[in-house]
């Protein structure tokens, strides 16, 4: 039964706040990794597990969150997840070694996996069915804005305080969210209580999803299948997935109820959520690297650049929800969102070495509008036909697909950057030869310039070649990042036909059918 008045809004604010904790922590740590590495005396490979451990644990729990909420009660599971997340946040900030920090981040990821999907399920039950568009829009504030503002918040904290504070800031927010959950959120039936636990399902899920996420997180840095453990994990991911699906389809009490895939909107929505994750996390990954490696911005400046786009998304979300409630087809709005995302990537794919903050502002604002037009309609389409226990199961699977889409996006773009960097460098080096007049002119000009500063002709020539090498490297990186933007946009553009595989429904009709 839906809530009304003050209670509806306080529950809404509580679950959005709790989901923001989890979502911000997916990206807030990234800007602090160099500081953590120096403080704890770790290698770059070791410190990367601070991100990987959290992501792997998170994506394992997401599809199980619906079952856990059903077994222990959605309110109890949600509140416990908040409390554990808050306690472990303190332990992360207080870690004295890299092993401790990675362990606590894994625990934080396990608790965080119970926040986002359960928050969405609670929110959809709190609001009337005919206002599902508004409820999804409010949830989208955290889901889209969290990963975007994470680097902004993390950059500011690291620049002004120290890295442990990126974890300590969770403590008061988590404590308040736990209190509000205990006070205001209504208990739900414990549907799975007393039923047998599908232990094989849990083990196979952990093997399948954990292996896949680890491969996606570490594959590029480990040169993919050149490392035996990446090959082994790939095989275990494939076999684990096949066995897990077979197990869940054949047992009476599955951990993940694949029966909800009978709803065509949800089945197709799994793919569109994957594409959304690809665009959301992929673009948040490429843009900071582009700004810091090529344009010379620091972490805080990069985060501040992303903030106006996030603000634009916040402003747009309520209007998107109202348009959905009035019966405007979600497919039309999602189409506009995918096209705007393509416009954003197309504009940035034309970047030059002279690109500045003003040049990227408009594309980022367009991305902000596009993400609002994408998240709310896509999530509404996927979840509109689900009810009761299916809400928790569907929310977990949908959020898992968005997270996996993000991991695939980052892994794909990282590999693309690596490959295209070699291609562009080879193409540019063709011009570095004594038979190319523009090259000879530039080399002569640079050599004369260094000689004018008192260098010998030998030293001046060497320095001129070094300067040209620097130019080639920067141009190579520029062309590579331009390719990454272009590919991201094409993936989104070519995914538009998927939207029209989902049936057109008005939210009022959906509400009446329930």
Residue with the bigger pLDDT between 492 and 293: it is 492
Retrieve residue 407's tokens.
């991991």
CB 53 within 8 A of CB 100: no
pLDDT of amino acid 197: 73
Residue 148 pLDDT grade (very low, low, confident, very high; cuts 50, 70, 90) = low
| Phi, then psi, of 495 in degrees rounded to 5 | -90, -5
pLDDT of residue 145: 67
**DSSP 8-state class, residue 201:** H
pLDDT at 512 over 60: no
Q: Per-residue pLDDT for 119 more than 50?
A: yes
d(CA 407, CA 110): 17
Residue pair 498/268 in contact by the 8 Å Cβ criterion: yes
Query: In whole angstroms, how far apart are CA 173 and each of 16, 76, 105, 264, 384?
Result: 11, 18, 18, 38, 31
Kindly tell me if the per-residue pLDDT of 486 is higher than 80.
yes
> What CA–CA distance (Å, rounded) separates 188 from 371?
32
Q: Give CA–CA dist 50/98, Å, rounded.
A: 8
CA distance 355 to 365: 16
Comparing 46-60, 259-273, 485-499, which segment has the lowest mean pLDDT? Answer: 46-60
pLDDT for 45? 64
Q: Can you read off the two tokens belonging to residue 438?
A: 């523009």
pLDDT tier, 421 (very low <50, low <70, confident <90, very high otherwise): confident
Would you state the structure tokens that stand for residue 69, as one six-digit string? 């909420």
Give the relative orientation of helices 330-348 and 299-325 as an angle to the nearest 10 degrees.
Answer: 160
Residue 513, pLDDT score: 38
- pLDDT, averaged across the chain: 79
Question: How many Å apart are CA 459 and CA 452, to the nearest integer?
Answer: 12
Contacts of 127 (CB under 8 A, 6+ apart): 2, 3, 8, 12, 134, 135
Contact between 181 and 14 (Cβ < 8 Å):
yes
Query: What band does 514 get if pLDDT is binned at 50, 70 and 90?
Result: very low
Q: How confident is the model at residue 125 (pLDDT cuts 50, 70, 90)?
A: confident
Start-to-end CA distance of the chain, whole Å, equals: 12
Q: Are 432 and 472 in contact (CB under 8 A)?
A: yes
Helix ranges restricted to H, 219-329: 228-250, 264-293, 299-325
251-255, 283-287, 425-429, range with greatest mean pLDDT: 425-429
pLDDT digits (tens, 9 = 90+) for 230-260: 888 888 888 988 888 888 778 777 777 777 7
Residue 378 CA to residue 268 CA, distance in Å, equals 10
- In whole angstroms, give the CA distance from residue 249 to residue 254: 8
**Higher per-residue confidence, 35 vs 44:** 35
* pTM (two decimals): 0.74
Contacts of 87 (CB under 8 A, 6+ apart): none
Q: Is the pLDDT of residue 189 over 50?
A: yes
Residues 38-63 pLDDT 10s: 777 766 566 767 777 887 788 788 78
Is the Cβ–Cβ distance between 151 and 383 less than 8 Å?
Answer: no
Confidence of residue 90 (pLDDT cuts 50, 70, 90): very high
**Spatial separation of the C-alpha atoms in residues 55 and 25, rounded to whole Å:** 10
pLDDT beyond 80 at 511: no
Residue 286 pLDDT grade (very low, low, confident, very high; cuts 50, 70, 90): confident
Task: Look at residue 340 in the predicted model and tell me its pLDDT.
Answer: 92
Q: Is 116 helix (H, G, I), strand (E, B) or coil?
A: helix
Closest CA to 15 of 109, 106, 111, 117: 117
Confidence of residue 191 (pLDDT cuts 50, 70, 90): low
What tokens does 493 get? Answer: 């553009």
* Chain position carrying tokens 């001129």: 464
């Amino acid at each position: 039964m839906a809530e009304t008045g003050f209670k509806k809004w306080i529950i809404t604010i509580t679950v959005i706040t709790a989901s923001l904790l989890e979502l911000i922590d997916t990206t807030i740590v990234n800007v602090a990794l160099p500081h953590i590495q120096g403080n704890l005396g770790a290698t770059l490979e070791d410190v990367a597990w601070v991100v990987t451990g959290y992501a792997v644990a998170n994506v394992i729990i997401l599809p199980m969150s619906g079952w856990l909420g059903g077994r222990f009660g959605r309110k109890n599971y949600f509140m416990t997840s908040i409390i554990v997340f808050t306690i472990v946040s303190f332990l992360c900030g207080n870690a004295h070694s890299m092993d401790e920090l990675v362990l606590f981040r894994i625990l934080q990821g396990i608790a965080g996996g119970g926040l986002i999907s359960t928050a969405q399920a609670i929110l959809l039950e709190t609001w009337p069915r005919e206002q599902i568009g508004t409820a999804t829009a409010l949830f989208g504030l955290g889901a889209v804005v969290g990963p975007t503002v994470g680097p902004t918040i993390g950059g500011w904290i690291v620049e002004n305080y120290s890295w442990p504070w990126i974890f300590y800031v969770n403590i008061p927010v988590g404590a308040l969210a736990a209190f509000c959950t205990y006070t205001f959120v209504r208990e739900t039936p414990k549907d799975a209580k007393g039923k047998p636990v599908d232990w094989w399902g849990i083990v196979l899920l952990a093997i399948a999803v954990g292996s896949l996420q680890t491969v996606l997180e570490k594959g590029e840095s480990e040169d993919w299948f050149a490392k035996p453990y990446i090959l082994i994990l790939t095989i275990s991911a494939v076999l684990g997935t096949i066995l897990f699906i077979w197990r869940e389809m054949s047992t009476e009490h599955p951990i993940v109820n694949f029966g909800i895939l009978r709803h065509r909107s949800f089945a197709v929505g799994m793919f569109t959520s994957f594409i959304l994750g690809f665009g959301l996390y992929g673009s948040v990954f490429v843009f900071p690297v582009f700004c810091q490696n090529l344009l010379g911005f620091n972490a805080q400046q990069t985060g501040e650049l992303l903030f106006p786009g996030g603000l634009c998304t916040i402003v747009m979300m309520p209007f998107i929800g109202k348009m959905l409630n009035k019966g405007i087809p979600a497919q039309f709005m999602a189409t506009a969102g995918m096209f705007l995302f393509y416009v954003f990537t197309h504009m940035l794919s034309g970047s030059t070495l002279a690109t500045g903050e003003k040049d990227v502002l408009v594309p980022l604002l367009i991305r902000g509008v596009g993400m609002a037009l994408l998240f709310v309609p896509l999530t509404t389409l996927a979840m509109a036909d689900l009810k009761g226990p299916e809400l928790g199961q569907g929310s977990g699977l949908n959020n898992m697909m968005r997270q996996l889409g993000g991991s695939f996006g980052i892994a794909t773009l990282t590999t693309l950057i690596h490959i295209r960097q070699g291609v562009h460098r080879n193409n540019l080096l063709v011009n570095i030869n004594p038979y190319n007049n523009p090259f000879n002119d530039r080399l002569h000009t640079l050599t004369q310039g260094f000689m004018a500063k008192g260098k010998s002709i030998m030293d001046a020539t060497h320095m001129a070649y070094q300067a040209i090498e620097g130019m080639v490297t920067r141009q190579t990186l520029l062309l590579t990042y331009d390719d990454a933007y272009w590919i991201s946009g094409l993936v989104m553009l070519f995914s538009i036909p998927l939207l029209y595989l989902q049936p057109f429904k008005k939210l009022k009709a959906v509400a009446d059918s329930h």
